[in-house]
Amino acid sequence: GYVTLLGRRHELIISGGFNIYPREIEEMLTTFPGITEAAVIGDPHPQWGEVPIAYLVGDDTLDTAALVQHCRGLLASFKVPQAFHFVPELPRNAMGKLQKHLLK
């Protein structure tokens, strides 16, 4: 068999006992027309521990309902982001590395 790592372990989101790798969701989100960048982080949830939420760069007039349907068609239900936040840019350090901790 093969082992495929989809992201860094410290970025792992555990939601209701399921392991979610943000990179998988981010790659899928950027296939949606109008989205140029995506960052997914875990947000605390009283029942599930954490749920994924997405920060998106792109056209802020996107049809959010269509985006949710796109996600539901390509991801397991527990991987679909519970919220979408449109931002002008994602925070990066001087080297250009994404600073996800600044999104929390």
Q: What is the pLDDT, as a whole number, of residue 44? A: 95
- pLDDT tens column, 56-82: 999 878 889 999 999 999 999 999 999
pTM of the predicted model as reported, rounded to 2 decimal places: 0.88
Residue 89 has pLDDT above 60, yes or no: yes
In this predicted structure, what is the pLDDT of residue 4? 56
Q: Which of 48, 31, 32, 27 is nearest to 40 (CA)?
A: 27
Q: Domains plus CATH for the chain? A: 9-103 (3.30.300.30)
Cα 58 from Cα 87, distance rounded (Å) = 8
- pLDDT for 3 beyond 80: no
Higher pLDDT, 26 or 9: 26
